[in-house]
């Protein structure tokens, strides 16, 4: 028996091993190239949003359209849900604050409180600015008493003032629920004020508008 015939099986396994290693190397290089040239997107296409209370609503609920009408590829992050909810809520109640929907969200972020407070209290006090003292731009009833009426030159100034007021006079003092706020904001209420504010908060958080 010749040397080659005697060790043929070993030669066969050696060449098979060489081929296997080569194929693995090529595959690995291909995967690295594809990963480098196809990075993960920085935004995910999602079908729902999580609100502050952990409730999940669909994009369709937020926008007021059928979920099936939303085009695949419309990338929206979870943080975008709240501005959309604000806009939808203002549209529903035909509020003159609609052009300031993004500003309302930004102010809530600046002062560190939930987006819905300015809207819910405004809705309870004035139907979101539809029933206010003439030329006051004061939609929240604050600074309105027997001594006079707090007035502003426009809604922008009013919103900035009110956001700062809520932060300083209520949230910084631990008054962070409708019931606690009511004790100072509307102390003579029989509870209906807090109930109304909570109702509007729940409406926004549910996404059912």
Q: Which of 35-39, 62-66, 71-75, 128-132 is predicted least confidently?
A: 71-75
Q: Compute the distance between CA of residue 83 and CA of residue 198 in angstroms, rounded to an integer.
A: 19
Q: Compute the distance between CA of residue 42 and CA of residue 8 in angstroms, rounded to an integer.
A: 55
Domains in the chain: boundaries: 3-37, 83-206
pLDDT for 190 beyond 70:
yes
pLDDT band at 125 (very low <50, low <70, confident <90, very high): very high
Neighbours of 166 (CB within 10 A): 23
C-alpha 157, offset from chain centre: 24
For residues 163 and 110, is the Cβ–Cβ distance under 8 A?
Answer: yes
Stretch 190-198: mean pLDDT, rounded?
Answer: 97
List pLDDT tens digits, range 48-76: 444 445 554 444 554 444 444 444 333 33
Instruction: Report the pLDDT value the prediction gives residue 50, as an integer from 0 to 100.
Output: 45
pLDDT band at 5 (very low <50, low <70, confident <90, very high): low
Residue-averaged pLDDT of the chain: 78
Architecture of the domain made up of 83-206: Orthogonal Bundle (1.10)
Neighbours of 10 (CB within 10 A): 9
pTM of structure? 0.64
């Amino acid at each position: 028996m010749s040397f080659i015939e005697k060790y043929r099986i070993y030669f066969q396994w050696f060449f098979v091993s060489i081929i296997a290693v080569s194929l693995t190397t090529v595959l690995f290089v291909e995967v690295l190239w594809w990963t480098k040239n196809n990075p993960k997107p920085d935004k995910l296409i999602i079908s729902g949003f999580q609100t502050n209370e952990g409730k999940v609503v669909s994009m369709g609920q937020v926008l007021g359209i059928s979920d099936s009408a939303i085009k695949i590829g419309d990338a929206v992050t979870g943080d975008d849900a709240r501005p959309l909810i604000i806009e939808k809520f203002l549209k529903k109640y035909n509020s003159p604050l609609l052009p300031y929907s993004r500003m309302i969200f930004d102010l809530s972020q600046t002062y560190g409180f939930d987006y819905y407070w300015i809207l819910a209290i405004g809705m309870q006090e004035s139907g979101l600015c539809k029933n206010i003292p003439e030329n006051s731009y004061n939609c929240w009833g604050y600074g309105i008493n027997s001594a006079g009426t707090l007035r502003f030159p426009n809604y922008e100034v009013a919103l900035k003032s009110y956001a700062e007021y809520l932060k300083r006079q209520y949230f910084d003092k631990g008054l962070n629920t409708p019931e606690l706020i009511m004790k100072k904001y509307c102390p003579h209420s029989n509870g209906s004020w807090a109930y109304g504010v909570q109702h509007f908060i729940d409406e926004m958080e549910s996404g059912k508008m």
